[in-house]
Amino acid sequence: MGIGITHLGSGSRGNATLISSGDYNVLVDCGFSLRQTEKRLRIAGFDPESIDSIVVTHHHKDHSGSALNASKKWSSVLHCNGGTASRMGLVEGEFAEFGSLERIQFSSNLSMLAIPVPHDDADNVALVASDGKGDRAAIVTDLGEAPDDLVKHLSSCNHISIEANYDHERLMSGPYPDSLKRRISGRGGHLSNSQAGEVLLRSMNKDLRSIVLCHLSESNNAPHLAESEVLLAIGDEFEGNISISKQLGPEFSYWTGQAEPSKILAS
């Protein structure tokens, strides 16, 4: 059956990724305005009303922004863990709660496993989607380091979308105050390009066909730096395709097992 992955856009000004099994659609994070999200879904060829579920990884605005409003307007189920729900100010009846390492079963051929990751002042999770027949796609953003448990799950994925937030040199020589530089590069911050490469190398497996680098900082990174640093780390081990999701999307869709992404052209 397989799993479709479409980034509607990614970065500190908003994140949303559509995961589809063909007959069930899940939006992972809903960090753009409702209007922007609907516009981007239509560009990707999806009716917003066709979103069955929304999963929020953590409460930061660039991930949770319009999730509640969208779930009400589209009559989709809003899923998050208890910590995220309370930080978003959600009340009973507004969300379906999942626990750590719990599998959320959406349909007979789509589920997601929620894996806790360290990120400042947030109960953040990485998500691994599965079609139940061997295809797996991971969405991993906003973490300072990758726990062994996460790497174990990534090692069985055909697709990995992972943040490559900053270039270490650019962050350290850039305009941010020292306290912010420490926070971004610390355990509760974000993955640098080289850390993303390291996680991918540890997660490498023969079935991994596609990688999307996402959540690139506009001040402390550039697409060519992220791609070259990651390729340097994984080099000969990886024979698949690598793309970058920018802040303005969607630009492409992957289908697990597919070597090349399908381009999306805004009409």
Residues that bind Zn ion (CB under 5 A): 60, 62, 142
Rounded distance between C-alpha atoms, residue 57 and residue 261, angstroms: 25
For Zn ion, give the closer residue by CB, 62 or 123: 62
Cβ proximity of 203 and 154 under 8 Å: yes
Alpha-carbon distances of 213 from 87, 224, 228, 229, 236, rounded to whole Å: 27, 11, 11, 11, 18
For Zn ion, give the closer residue by CB, 15 or 258: 15
The nearest distance, CB 119 to Zn ion, in angstroms, is 5
The nearest distance, CB 106 to Zn ion, in angstroms, is 23
Q: For the chain, what's the residue count?
A: 267
Spatial strand order in the sheet of 53-55: 96-97, 77-80, 53-55, 25-28, 16-20, 4-9, 252-255, 262-263
Tokens at 52, concatenated? 């069955």
The nearest distance, CB 199 to Zn ion, in angstroms, is 17
**Upstream peptide bond of 223 is cis (omega within 30 degrees of 0):** no
For Zn ion, give the closer residue by CB, 188 or 240: 188
Closest CA to 130 of 107, 101, 100: 107
The nearest distance, CB 267 to Zn ion, in angstroms, is 29
The nearest distance, CB 189 to Zn ion, in angstroms, is 9
For Zn ion, give the closer residue by CB, 62 or 135: 62
For Zn ion, give the closer residue by CB, 7 or 60: 60
HEC letters along 15-30? CEEEEECCCCEEEECC
Q: Which residue is nearest to Zn ion (CB)?
A: 60
For Zn ion, give the closer residue by CB, 135 or 142: 142
The 8-class DSSP code of residue 131 comes to -
The nearest distance, CB 258 to Zn ion, in angstroms, is 27
For Zn ion, give the closer residue by CB, 59 or 153: 59
Helix or strand (DSSP H, E) at 225: helix 223-234
Cβ proximity of 76 and 68 under 8 Å: no
The nearest distance, CB 33 to Zn ion, in angstroms, is 16
